[in-house]
Structure 1
């Protein structure tokens, strides 16, 4: 691991989101109860993913989820899949189509955690259990799995501060947070601020609409105009897609890889891994997709069969509309240039052939990737 990141130790984070004083539901499985289902014949599992701009969903999440579901429930299991392409209204329609088709369980990675609640309620009314995947949706969710989201923000911020060193006192950083409709974005931001506040000046901070790289690019251009190129010493970017848009703006302002301020990221996307190898992007956060997708598949199949979740869940989570949701949380890992070699070729990461195209061959050779 890069020396700047050694010694990062975070305590266990207990997830508890936005408790309200209003009466809240409780997931049936939290008390070890089952739904009483006795499913005969092949299962049908619905899968709704939020967007396709972030490469991870089609490249890793979807195939890994499908593989694990069929491994658990049999090769004859039907998997109905839809991608919302960052459209919350479209995702609601897709969810309601799944209800109409009477799937046995539904896995949802919500575009908008609040607006999907009505669709989750319709599924619940139809006796279709819903698993919240990666983002905690509102409504009567029966199970939830994600990464340790506050830790993601802490990893990014700690990495950035260590890379800045004394430069943290010499200028300002720009914070490019994610979309306000994504509950994870709030946790990344809070985690980052818990590390950065009082250690570095934040010159500009943005909540980036729909996580879109072009919106991050526009925001970064505005920050450069407002703060001045010489005053920006680093950029906190909540994910890799936005980091790409930010780096394009920085290049347009005259920065080269030799004087590029460190830019963070998340998701370990292929383009980001290549940017890290070529010293354009400083770091990303690698989220092990196999344990996260496996947990979602295990929850969905167990719920579809009416089985208990006690052996799958490792904790419980509260949303503003639901208490004691059976939960499994996965630990994210920092990814800097020196870390890439150890992940190459592993499940949920890229092969050397994918990374080391002709443009990046020299950088791969220097990093010992073959």
Structure 2
């Protein structure tokens, strides 16, 4: 044991003397690799700091975000880095405070799922002041100089929803139950929906008889919105597009209360298990599947690259009101009863046993 410590001590002293003697300085990590053999592992541990990623999440209330959390954690650790994850329970002030905690802890890169797209700009400013780069994850942070945005093509999500329903209901009265007004994605979903609906509205084929945001994405607010839409139209509606599957669930509960579940087409998105079950049961028409494992892996790889000082080139840039943000946008997939087995089940996103539990 004594010989081992003497050997290590001699190596460290030698290394210090060589570095001090070099006028221009020497990269210690590279030097140790070039001049030692068995001691190199010891030197690397002493010199190299493990990358740490901070992940600031809005909420874990929905199944989808629980998946993001665990998959991102696994992806980062698979790449040999560490991650600390904090979630704010839909509280704007708490998210900003938690992000400051991660910044003060000295994370190498901060990944943010913003609760409020505008307010989160202050997080970016504070991170950059500390020399920390920021990735906007799934939702775009507005009016800030974020370093990278990675998400699915959220405008396309809305288009897929509207395309599915207009094939079934090319004419009639439509209800749109949006997401939270503070969430930039909710605006993108809606824009995509109306990209498809507007030409039909202009022709007089479709009338949107109710259009409302769901405050804070709260299910109780979605239920109230749908109940209000039915009451205002004496239950005379032909199709409903909901901003996500959790919202669609509340829409369907409101329809059930009027004996209309399964009689009016309902679109959602996120491919939650409950939504997949409703699709095979016949109360929800479709969902939009976004392969989250791809998203989390791409985000983890990008975070580690930024932490290493690498530049990430993208083919797409999205304006956030201040800059054209380098963006990675992944493709969503429309899912209905006809292709559910070959999409979310084939991918292992949900098991066939779980999806068909209530119908077989």
Same fold (TM over 0.5): yes
Q: Return the alpha-carbon distance in structure 2 between the equivalents of residues 163 and 298 of structure 1.
A: 40
Q: TM-score, normalised by structure 1?
A: 0.80
Q: Residues 241-280 of structure 1 correspond to what in structure 2 (within 5 A)?
A: 241-257=246-262, 260-280=263-283
Q: Residues 1-370 of structure 1 correspond to what in structure 2 (within 5 A)?
A: 40-58=48-66, 60-72=67-79, 74=80, 77-138=81-142, 139-165=144-170, 168-169=171-172, 172-197=173-198, 198=201, 199-229=205-235, 231-257=236-262, 260-310=263-313, 313-323=314-324, 325-345=325-345, 349-357=349-357, 360-362=358-360
Which deviations, in whole Å up to 9, do the C-alpha atoms of 1:262-291 show, x marking residues without a partner? 000000001100000100001000012122
Q: TM-score, normalised by structure 2?
A: 0.82
Structure 1 unaligned segments of length 5 or more: list them. 1-37, 363-370
Query: Deviating runs (4+, > 3 A) in structure 1?
Result: 344-348
Q: Report the Cα offset of residue 120 of structure 1.
A: 1.3
Whether the 8 Å contact between 1:209 and 1:215 is mirrored in structure 2 is: yes
Q: Return the alpha-carbon distance in structure 2 between the equivalents of residues 84 and 61 of structure 1.
A: 15
> C-alpha root-mean-square deviation of aligned residues, in Å?
1.7
Q: 1:129 to 1:283 in 2, by over 3 A?
A: same
Q: 1:300 to 1:285 in 2, by over 3 A?
A: same
Partner of 1:16: none
Whether the 8 Å contact between 2:281 and 2:359 is mirrored in structure 1 is: no
Q: Report the Cα offset of residue 356 of structure 1.
A: 3.6
Which deviations, in whole Å up to 9, do the C-alpha atoms of 1:49-84 show, x marking residues without a partner? 2112221111x2112212221222x1xx32100111
Q: Report the Cα offset of residue 327 of structure 1.
A: 1.4
Whether the 8 Å contact between 1:213 and 1:246 is mirrored in structure 2 is: no
